[in-house]
Structure 1
Amino acid sequence: MTLTTDASSASASQKSLSRAFYTTAWRWHFYAGLYVAPFLIMLAVTGLIMLWSSMLVGRDGEKSFSVEPAGQTVAVSAQADAALSAVPGSALVQYIVPRTEEQPAVFRVDADGQSTMVAVDPYRGTVLGTWERRDSLYDLANLIHGTLLIGTVGDRMIEIAAGFGIVLVVTGAYLWWPRDGRRFARSLAPQLSGGGRQVWKSLHQTVGIYSALLLVVFLLSGLSWAGVWGEKMTQAWSTFPAEKWDNVPLSDVTHASMNHGGVKDVPWALEQTPMPASDPHAAHHGHAMPASSGPGDVDGIIAKARLLGFDGRFQLSFPKGETGVWTIARDTMSNDSADPLSDRTVHIDQYTGQVLADVGFSDYSAAGKAMALGVAFHEGDIGGGWNVALNTVFCLSVIFLSVSGIVMWWKRRPAGANRLLAPAYPVKMPLWKTGAIVMIAVSLVFPLTGLVLVSVLLLDMFVLRRVRTLKRALS
């Protein structure tokens, strides 16, 4: 009898402890969701806009025009002259090679601090249209997606939300995990019997568990662009070292100088790498090539790019200043190709035509390779239609999870309640070692999120639970 009583007591104590852990995880899931849900909705909506805008219009607007193939194309230099004539007093900055025979060539020209894109028929050399660079729906969505249109403050807020998104995934997985005799297989499908909040809860859990891994991938790849965890930590440690280039003079600017405002045009692994520099004294050193060979001419550089193996769509950036270089680039992140393994950036001396640097996917660090794949996947650029379809379903799932979380909270509230109704903190709550380890790990890996996490935890322990008015409002 004593053994039976002791066993029953131990079982009841274990259930009580398990319930306390469950309620604590639910409380953190609730608070994390309270902050994260609006950001997840914003990220999913703007992500869908960028995904489908890129598919239908093109990131640089090139799909807004089409051309009729006519055999031989005119020289790229003639196309460039046409682009310059469309914007008087402008200078050439970039040439985007057509992806297909039916697409136009696109040039970027700058005049008086204004960047203009010019579409040119490559077969006839005629201008098809002009538009302000980075002024499309895609670019507006991109800026909201990355900065909320408020610059650094917005970037930091999104970074904190992304870190809390990891907390949301971990606590959500714990809440979903089968317990109290519930079978694992039964947890993999929604239970639609009954009604009301329980159906919403079942749908929320099922969609959430299937989306969890993808959400972590999207959060981490997005965080790697963020200002603190990305640029100051992960990217700084993983950037391509310019010292790998053999005795090449380096510029005072980095590859990030090729970006356009908040829009990322340069591969993640190269952003913080110094640019190589052309030698303006090449003629004095006897290394300059004759003008007839055309190393400094766009036709000659394009011919060299073809010899180096560039085909399909790639981008050519013109030299800036007397030490600037020609840059030939193809990367999936810029929608040039559907294969991140083919990413490649080549820099050429504007005076000698010498290849100063040639960096491909295989040269990236492990983190650089992960980001080349991760960002391409994040943007729906890999392998064509399947990536677009998967990302579309994922974004819709994220919107559903956020909305259903709000619906469940609303249905749980008593009618007329004027308080938050967060899950109550257990009265007798011992140290939850696993939960503590998870929170410490998140705090160490994501500093901004950790700072907010610790602040909220201290606020919850020493203020919210002790001030009766606040405790009631947030309970």
Structure 2
Amino acid sequence: MTDTTLPPVGAGGSAKEAAQPSGANKFYFIAWRWHFYAGLYVIPFLIMLATTGLVMLWISWMAGIGAERMTVQPGGEPLPLSVLQTAAETAIPGGRATQYVEPLAADRVAVISVATEAGNTGVVLSPYTGEVLHTFPWRAGAYDLANKIHGTLLLGSFGDRLIEIAASLGLVMVASGLYLHWPRRGGSWRDTLVPRLSARGRTFWKSLHGVVGFWVSLMLIVFLISGLSWAGVWGERMVQAWSTFPAEKWDNVPLSDDVHADMNHGPAKEVPWGLEQTPMPASGSLKGTAAITGPVDLETVAAFARSLGFVGRFQINLPKGDAGVWTISHDSISNDGPNPAADRTIHIDRFTGNVLADVRYADYSPYAKAMAWGIAFHEGDLGVWNFALNTAFCLSVLGVSLSGLVMWWKRRPSGSGRLAAPPRPGDVPFWKGAAALVVFLGIVFPLAGAAIVAVLLIDAALLRLLPSVRRTLA
């Protein structure tokens, strides 16, 4: 939400030649300078996040993440799941079923993930005939490629850190942008809330940039914080570690060395945020509550899930190794349903059929509950209104980012090869509110703090020692 009161550069003087601000207006130029420098780093990431987010939103809405939206003609009673499991494993030589996805409805397909040494393959079957209708690389489609770019830039943890810095500095951009666009000195709320479509040139882009940025600022904060809650430093090591469901709440059941996040497939998130770091229970004891009598297999586990009220799309993860457990889950993070309050994860001993753990939404910590809703909102899973709102939001973020670039392009000195950063006011007064905000963000978001310190050092010291660089950035 860049703004300026300087005359246009290249049409009547450079930024250096513009009158230096005085008094309270110096705060405005300080905010503008921070907004500009943060934007240099953040805007490319916002464009990437909005574009990949839009791709994932539409793929999920139109086709589903896997192939579970394929339809079949219902005919009689569905086959036993053991028959579907055998058909799926037969279709992938040397494969072993690892995950089952219940059909969305009576006229939809069943999906089973089959693992081999080469990776996992999704097998799509008719629940009524057992016919294999389609196979696809599990969690390796267009949605998942967009998801990997969205979360890591295809650079693993290094990309995750780069995005975390951008999201953290994005909060600085929102705060400084709101300050710049807030009505002052006789400015009207109409100009704050409604773009001046009759304006021309840079004035039009300035109005459009500020108004759209103002309207999307609250939603952008929600998206940035929910995304940061998954990031490697602030998310994984801080808020998630503090908000993870404690396995000690279970009735002294044996615990595995695995955690719930091990059920994810790469960057794909398939277990609730508040459970990712919780250790998995282990099979092989007499602990737990009696549940399934007789053989414990895919058929009896699914029947037990249905008896508890699991309907529509739910998932069953098959045991991995002798100590592995059966896991029944229905959660919004996996796009199983539109209501995060219906989240439920159940672990069953593979030998005794006893329920070792049963975690519901009510058991989540307050922040994990907020994340359950925040992620569902982030992914557009709460209904048609959420899908439409997120589509408009992504397009608005693209518009704000691109309009900021247009404003800079129109303001920069023509042919000078300079960056044309906003001027740094002389005799800057100490801005207590801004300093408090910067310190707060630096403490709460460590990578943002490191980036802010780096910018301050570069601006205060390095540029003074390198006049040629200073002239380029000026």
Q: Does 1:37 align with 2:46?
A: no
Q: Aligned ranges for residues 350-369 of structure 1 at < 5 Å?
A: 350-369=350-369
Q: Does 1:141 align with 2:140?
A: no
Residue 422 of structure 2: aligned partner: 423
Structure with greater helix percent: 1
**Contiguous gaps of at least 5 residues in structure 2:** 1-20
2:291/2:355 contact within 8 Å kept: no
Residue 114 of structure 1 deviates from its aligned partner by: 1.4
Relative to the length of structure 2, the TM-score reads: 0.93
- Look up the SS of the partner of 2:123 in the other structure: strand
Residue 468 of structure 1 deviates from its aligned partner by: 2.5
Residue 320 of structure 2: aligned partner: 320
CA RMSD of aligned residues (A): 1.6
Give the counterpart of 1:217 among 222, 227, 237: 222
Query: Which stretch shifts more, 126-135 or 159-168?
Result: 126-135
Equivalent-residue separation in structure 1 for 2:140 and 2:252 (angstroms) = 40
- Look up the SS of the partner of 1:40 in the other structure: helix
1:239/1:365 contact within 8 Å kept: yes
Residue 303 of structure 1: aligned partner: 303
Residue 441 of structure 1: aligned partner: 440
Deviations 1:286-345 (A, max 9, x none): x9999xx44411111111111222111100000111111000000011110000000110
| One-letter identity of the residue aligned with 1:18 | A
Q: Aligned ranges for residues 122-271 of structure 1 at < 5 Å?
A: 122-271=127-276
1:100/1:312 contact within 8 Å kept: yes
1:294/1:301 contact within 8 Å kept: no
Residue 335 of structure 2: aligned partner: 335
2:413/2:420 contact within 8 Å kept: no
CA spacing shift, 1:415–1:118, aligned 2, 3 Å? same
Equivalent-residue separation in structure 2 for 1:261 and 1:187 (angstroms) = 43
Equivalent-residue separation in structure 2 for 1:299 and 1:262 (angstroms) = 30
CA spacing shift, 1:289–1:240, aligned 2, 3 Å? closer
- Look up the SS of the partner of 1:62 in the other structure: coil
Equivalent-residue separation in structure 2 for 1:432 and 1:70 (angstroms) = 72
Deviations 1:110-136 (A, max 9, x none): 112410100010011111111111221
CA spacing shift, 1:289–1:48, aligned 2, 3 Å? closer
Residue 193 of structure 1 deviates from its aligned partner by: 3.2
Residue 203 of structure 1 deviates from its aligned partner by: 0.4
Equivalent-residue separation in structure 2 for 1:289 and 1:381 (angstroms) = 32
Deviations 1:17-67 (A, max 9, x none): 22110001000000111100000000000001111111122112222x321
1:255/1:274 contact within 8 Å kept: yes
Equivalent-residue separation in structure 1 for 2:453 and 2:152 (angstroms) = 24
Deviations 1:218-237 (A, max 9, x none): 00000011000000001001
Q: Aligned ranges for residues 100-111 of structure 1 at < 5 Å?
A: 100-111=105-116
1:204/1:405 contact within 8 Å kept: yes
Relative to the length of structure 1, the TM-score reads: 0.93
Residue 450 of structure 2: aligned partner: 451
Query: Percent of aligned positions with the same letter in both sequences?
Result: 56
2:68/2:104 contact within 8 Å kept: no
1:288/1:351 contact within 8 Å kept: no
Residue 466 of structure 1 deviates from its aligned partner by: 5.0
| One-letter identity of the residue aligned with 1:441 | F
Residue 429 of structure 1 deviates from its aligned partner by: 0.7
| One-letter identity of the residue aligned with 1:163 | S
Equivalent-residue separation in structure 2 for 1:122 and 1:294 (angstroms) = 24
Q: Does 1:18 align with 2:24?
A: yes
- Look up the SS of the partner of 1:306 in the other structure: helix
2:88/2:132 contact within 8 Å kept: yes
| One-letter identity of the residue aligned with 2:444 | V
Residue 12 of structure 1: aligned partner: none
| One-letter identity of the residue aligned with 2:445 | F
